[in-house]
Chains A and B, each alone.
Chain A
């Protein structure tokens, strides 16, 4: 009797220690994400801040001239910031309306098989790698823009915006569609009973009811557009001009990527500072996104 009890006790003890070991292991795994975020932030800040202090915050952020390899170098990144902002806004200007109309069609109007087919197309568009978009842009969009507007070179802000608009479209469609599907049927039934037609109901009742989800999709799209590098690098022309619709431009992302391989000294540090600015933008977008989605949950 006594023997079995102690045996059980020792087994229990062993089980408990095994339990504790695994609990700790899982806790450590859980901490990895936090550690990565902290590491990334610290490394970006440490390598990004020196150039900003050396150049001067205002000169860096609002300087309109970027000439990193000139004899008397000048490091102003306003051209990149504005290009990123214009490019993103331009892309959203096209893809938000198209995306919302497409999402409404998918969620509310399309017959089953058609909806399934279009949805498949949207998912596949989202899955195409950005270099493939870049290649397509280089070979199709850039030459067409050159011919259409009679320009010496088609690699400019306009072409990049078109490519970005296509790339952002799927995230807007699928996120908005999910939001539209979540609208309670009673809302729509109420509107129909009051004599509105189905189409009117969908646009005047369902769409406003889904607005926070639609807004989320737009913010997601903004994040994707502002962070896109490779596709833009292949079609934007990569010259550090102040943005103009038919000018060769550099985005924040491509400014980092295009000089990294041959940079050194202050120029290299300044590239890290650009990345830090971009990182800051992205964090701001994340904060807005989080506010939006948590608000949706409370409802």
Chain B
């Protein structure tokens, strides 16, 4: 009995297989093969790029590189000024982008009653997120450097990037605000809280994780940005004090811009690879922490 039923099933499989013509089978196989190939190619690309950059760069990431300023006299190359400039730009850009971005999201989600206005604001935000960084660089140069007389400076660069990161902060905050249950709002309002009181004490604290995710993603974008900074923040490699960084007229290259200069203009590839390693590590840490936060948010 067992045997018979066994042959029966295998027969069934055989006829089912026979139902698929050889041509059809080959087609399915080809599609599957292409899929594996595409997925493998993507992974290999990533591993190859990262592997090669670490291979070339890691030996040159030295304490001396990280802690000194470049000097033509002693032929020393250090990237401390570039690290500081990157930090300054992150902080200044966020000081502007964060309140405006969170404020916009709060307005869109909690206050706005005029649907047309909401649509226009959302259209504007989308447009901002689609503008390429070289255009931001040019607009920043025209508006902040020239029209507002800041000169090529950290401040002008940071303001340019503030505009550029605004859409990221608006979007992540808005997504977080949408996950706050309406019952929270109703509860607060029913207890007699005004709308602002409700936003401040109930809505914003519940949306905190989303806002932090927005900050992290913005930092990632700022750290990786270069085209928008070339003609706004400039290419200087001197150490600036925090006070100087917010005074107009003090130029400074970030890590990305200095990488470009060392690779393209000066042919110092070892330094360029070392900076690339640092950039990769920063962006990966940022990526992973944003993801962890996002997971927490979903719970």
Residues of A within 8 A of B (CB): 15-16, 18-19, 22-23, 25-34, 36-37, 39-40, 43-44, 47, 97-102, 104-106, 109-110, 114, 117-118, 121-125, 127-136, 138-140, 166, 169, 173, 195, 197, 199-200, 203, 223, 226-230, 233-234, 253, 256-257, 260-261, 272, 275, 278-279, 282-283, 285-286, 289-290
Contacts and interface: CB of A to CB of B under 8 A. Distances in A.
22 contacts: A30-B117, A33-B166, A36-B128, A101-B38, A102-B35, A102-B39, A102-B42, A118-B39, A121-B42, A123-B287, A125-B45, A127-B220, A128-B283, A130-B224, A131-B259, A132-B259, A135-B273, A138-B264, A256-B134, A260-B138, A260-B230, A285-B130
A125 B42 contact: yes
Given A101-B34, A234-B260, 9 more contacts: A23-B196, A26-B111, A122-B46, A132-B280, A135-B272, A136-B53, A166-B45, A257-B231, A260-B141
A199 B131 contact: no
Given A131-B259, A135-B276, A27 B111 contact: yes
B206 interface: no
Contacts of B95: none
Contacts of A129: 223-226, 256, 279, 283
A43 B143 contact: yes
A224 B269 CA distance: 27
Nearest to A20: B196
Given A102-B42, A129-B226, A47 B260 contact: no
Nearest to A47: B142
A154 to B, nearest CB: 15
Interface in B182-223: 194-197, 199, 220, 223
Candidate in A22, A25, A104 with the most chain B CB atoms within 10 angstroms: A22
Candidate in B50, B127, B194 with the most chain A CB atoms within 10 angstroms: B127
A127 B287 contact: yes
B28 A200 contact: yes
Contacts of B297: none
Nearest to A125: B46
Interface stretch (B5-13, B63-71, B96-104, B239-247): B96-104
Candidate in B19, B37, B43, B134 with the most chain A CB atoms within 10 angstroms: B134
B42 A18 contact: no
A227 B286 CA distance: 24
A199 B31 contact: yes
Interface of B: 19-20, 24, 28, 31-32, 34-39, 41-43, 45-47, 49-50, 52-53, 56, 99-100, 103-104, 106-108, 110-112, 117, 120-121, 123-128, 130-139, 141-143, 147, 163, 166-167, 170, 194-197, 199, 220, 223-227, 230-231, 256, 259-260, 263-264, 269, 272-273, 276, 279-280, 283-284, 286-287, 291
Candidate in B42, B47, B52 with the most chain A CB atoms within 10 angstroms: B42
Contacts of A124: 46, 50, 283-284, 287
A164 to B, nearest CB: 13
A231 to B, nearest CB: 9
A23 B138 contact: no
A102 B284 CA distance: 22
Nearest to A103: B38
Nearest to A104: B35
Given A37-B127, A121-B43, A32 B100 contact: yes
Contacts of A279: 131, 135
A29 B53 contact: no
Contacts of A99: 38
